[in-house]
Chain A
Amino acid sequence: MTDEQAPKAASVPAFGSSRKASPAERAWEESKLEPTLAKSPDRNSDFTTVSSYPVRRLYTQADLAGWNAERELGRPGAPPYTRGIHAAMYRDRLWTMRQFAGFGSADDTNRRFRYLLSQGQTGLSVAFDLPTLMGYDSDHPLAEGEVGKCGVAISSLADMEALFDQIPLADVTTSMTINSPAAPIWAMYLAVAEKQGADWQKISGTLQNDILKEYIAQKEYIYPPEPSMRIVTDTIEFGAKHTPKFNPISISGYHIREAGSTAIQELAFTLRDGIEYVEHCLRRGMHVDDFAPRLSFFFNAHNDFFEELAKYRAARRIWQSVMRERFGAKNPRSWALRFHSQTAGCSLTAQQPYNNVVRTAVQALAAVLGGTQSLHTNSLDEAWALPTESAATIALRTQQIIAYESGVTNTADPFGGSYFVETLTNEIERGARDYIERIDAFGGMVAAIERGFPQREIADAAYRYQVAVDRKQKIVVGVNEYLVDEKPIETLHIDQTVGGRQADRLRKLRADRSSAEVERRLNSLCHAAAGTDNLMPHLFEAVKAYATLGEICGALRQPFGVYQEVAIT
């Protein structure tokens, strides 16, 4: 590719470039800096964050002219929450160590869950396979070859019961990464809780259920935006009434970042998605303080340590002002942005996979210093396969070492007051607010998605990044520098018989259940879907009758239609 063809990076001023150097600083430049550079020039012409934002060589009080610590920084547990959302932060409670896991059958994953809990993880996180994520049963023709490969296969309540065998939902919190089929999957979880005798008022966990980012980045959509937003609003409304400790949504930037966005785009699109969900709930007639305390978020923890740290701080500061000023929320629990984070899968390499342990540790540290409530650390074999038990153990130990050996949990927001970190926080906030305004001008996020705006921003950023790596403007150790000849590592093999065994289970399930009851429940669901009833009670009855996920999601295609993306390359 020629230089003319290379996409021009948006002309971005360096973080802190609008400041004025003091006479003392100018004197330092003349007497110390310039002679040093004359003898030994900078290693590079560009010093940028991973997102390609230029970074200056030094940050001082001049970068924070007009900055007021009481107003911009505050204290943890109080607005503007820059320093964290809990007054005591990690001194009274560590973040939840919540490792994403799932593969093969419900029995396989149940074993891995119980292993991770025995090794000290403090919450569960379920990865579902692609057929489940797309609302297909394991024996659907489109599921061939895909069952159990990227996560656990869950086709019915029977599978969900097996998944949580010997795991009391009253005592363990569970996060479920599921989007288009989130509502029926949640209905199955609630049915298991009921069977176990766990009180819905007390059970806790998170449903990802963030359909907007599917259109933007992860692409696991089924139905078009309007009916999909209706389903999400139904779950938030249902949760507000029946499961007060459960987070019905995890508004996500992780996937947006993995698709190649910059840190500012990740933050802006996530928060603007949040605004869209709040608006839909308000239009439904809900009162903001009834549901906002249970909105939760999910961010990426990427390589650039300080950029990530500043991003989380900016996130909290922006969200509390959105909730208070834009939406008039009165409950402080509505203002405090709670988030899970995951270290960046896209940054991990197939080459020299043990290096990934180091990458994950640095990324996890940024998330912890950024005040995350919950964390997943990736395994070293991320670029090859789902994690082996031993790789997953190292990933968990990474969190435990940070928690117990590094000392960073002794005090809240250790980097608060740093010239660089506060400048970066300000600039990331400014960049994110800019994007939020642009999306407002489109008429909101659904409108912006329909015009391809966030998708195009992400595709451009992803391409610019790849060009930089190909040209060695960004070094990736072991990939474009410091290569070795290597032997392949041991990886996890998914048993090829999973698909066949699932098909057998489904045959038996369909034979044992009452088809009349299933038909009745599916009809009632479709009738409700065509009207304005909240779908959750209908889904709950359908799953208890052992209607399968595929039958439920398939039935809803009639009233809702399916979404076709206009691909943007």
Chain B
Amino acid sequence: MPDKKIRVLIAKPGLDGHDRGAKVIARALRDAGMEVIYTGLRQTPEMIASAAIQEDVDVIGLSILSGAHNTICARLMELLRAKDMTDVTVLIGGIIPEADIADLKKSGIAEIFLPGTTTQAIVDFIRQRVAVA
């Protein structure tokens, strides 16, 4: 029986439309054999949580460059807890000040990928993480 493909939701939360990173990562994960759903732009935390349930994903990847990460993540993690989806791995890629990283991880974000991260590093992290789950 073939291995079940890892399912990843790549999302652009908030108002920001800069999607170069989200699209590059979506493509890299697909090339690495994962099933990737890209939400498109201007997703609210509600829309993201909903899509994650509907698509039955293993991983949610948020692309955030706007400085709104604390507000967005607090709301999303709250929704995931309420919908009993705490086994989903939540990742962030983007511009996150060093000072905010520890609190984001405490709130349940599994890892934060800053500018300069290779696509392979993200692929490896997801594979390790989902294999253990």
The chain A residues found within 8 Å of chain B, CB to CB, are: 1, 5, 130-131, 133-134, 136, 142-146, 149-150, 214, 218-220, 258-260, 346, 349-351, 383-385, 459, 462-463, 466-467, 469-470, 476, 479-480, 488, 491, 494, 565, 567-569
Interchain CB contact under 8 A, A350 and B116: yes
Q: Residue-by-residue, is B70-104 near A (CB-CB < 8 Å gives 1, otherwise 0)?
A: 11100000000000000000000001011100000
17 extra A-B contacts, CB within 8 A, seeds A145-B71, A146-B68, A569-B23: A1-B32, A1-B119, A130-B15, A143-B15, A146-B67, A150-B16, A150-B66, A218-B17, A218-B18, A219-B18, A350-B116, A384-B95, A384-B97, A385-B67, A385-B95, A466-B28, A569-B38
Given A130-B15, A146-B15 in contact, is the A466-B119 Cβ separation under 8 Å? yes
User: Which residues of A sit under 8 angstroms from B97, Cβ to Cβ?
Assistant: 384-385, 491
User: Which residues of A sit under 8 angstroms from B70, Cβ to Cβ?
Assistant: 145
User: Which residues of A sit under 8 angstroms from B98, Cβ to Cβ?
Assistant: 384, 488
Interchain CB contact under 8 A, B18 and A130: no
User: Which residues of B sit under 8 angstroms from A214, Cβ to Cβ?
Assistant: 17
User: Which residues of A sit under 8 angstroms from B44, Cβ to Cβ?
Assistant: 142
Which of A133, A466, A565 counts the most chain B CB atoms within 10 A?
A: A466
Given A1-B28, A149-B66, A491-B97 in contact, is the A258-B20 Cβ separation under 8 Å? yes
Given A149-B66, A459-B23 in contact, is the A1-B18 Cβ separation under 8 Å? no
Nearest 3 pairs of A and B residues by beta carbon: A145-B71, A219-B17, A149-B67
Chain A interface, DSSP helix/strand/loop, else mixed: loop
Interchain CB contact under 8 A, B23 and A130: no
B118 interfacial by beta-carbon distance below 8 Å: yes
Interchain CB contact under 8 A, B115 and A383: yes
Name 22 A/B residue pairs within 8 A (Cβ), A-sorted.
Answer: A5-B31, A130-B16, A130-B66, A131-B15, A142-B42, A146-B66, A149-B67, A150-B16, A218-B17, A219-B17, A219-B18, A258-B18, A351-B116, A384-B98, A385-B97, A459-B27, A469-B118, A479-B116, A488-B99, A565-B40, A568-B23, A569-B36
User: Which residues of A sit under 8 angstroms from B56, Cβ to Cβ?
Assistant: none
Contact of B24 among A144, A351, A462 (CB under 8 A): A462
Cα-based distance from A349 to B116 in the complex (angstroms): 7
Interchain CB contact under 8 A, A219 and B28: no
Interchain CB contact under 8 A, B115 and A349: yes
Interchain CB contact under 8 A, A149 and B68: yes
Cα-based distance from A466 to B117 in the complex (angstroms): 10
B114 interfacial by beta-carbon distance below 8 Å: yes
Given A145-B72, A149-B67, A462-B24 in contact, is the A219-B14 Cβ separation under 8 Å? no
User: Which residues of A sit under 8 angstroms from B16, Cβ to Cβ?
Assistant: 130, 150
Interchain CB contact under 8 A, A260 and B20: yes
User: Which residues of A sit under 8 angstroms from B114, Cβ to Cβ?
Assistant: 350
Given A145-B68, A145-B71, A385-B97 in contact, is the A462-B116 Cβ separation under 8 Å? no
Given A145-B70, A146-B15, A494-B67 in contact, is the A470-B119 Cβ separation under 8 Å? yes
User: Which residues of B sit under 8 angstroms from A494, Cβ to Cβ?
Assistant: 67
User: Which residues of B sit under 8 angstroms from A150, Cβ to Cβ?
Assistant: 16, 66-67
Cα-based distance from A236 to B32 in the complex (angstroms): 48
B120 interfacial by beta-carbon distance below 8 Å: yes
B49 interfacial by beta-carbon distance below 8 Å: no
Cα-based distance from A462 to B24 in the complex (angstroms): 7
Cα-based distance from A99 to B65 in the complex (angstroms): 21
Q: Which of B1-58 contact A (CB under 8 A)?
A: 14-20, 23-24, 26-28, 30-32, 36, 38, 40-42, 44
Given A383-B95, A488-B98 in contact, is the A470-B120 Cβ separation under 8 Å? yes
User: Which residues of A sit under 8 angstroms from B99, Cβ to Cβ?
Assistant: 488
Nearest chain A CB to B11 CB, angstrom units: 11
User: Which residues of B sit under 8 angstroms from A491, Cβ to Cβ?
Assistant: 97
Given A149-B68, A219-B41, A569-B38 in contact, is the A462-B17 Cβ separation under 8 Å? no
Given A146-B67, A149-B68, A383-B115 in contact, is the A466-B24 Cβ separation under 8 Å? yes
Cα-based distance from A454 to B70 in the complex (angstroms): 34
Cα-based distance from A466 to B115 in the complex (angstroms): 12
Which of A150, A466, A565, A569 counts the most chain B CB atoms within 10 A?
A: A569
Contact of A219 among B19, B26, B30, B72 (CB under 8 A): B19
Q: Which residue of B lies closest to A459 (CB)?
A: B23
Given A130-B16, A133-B15 in contact, is the A462-B23 Cβ separation under 8 Å? yes
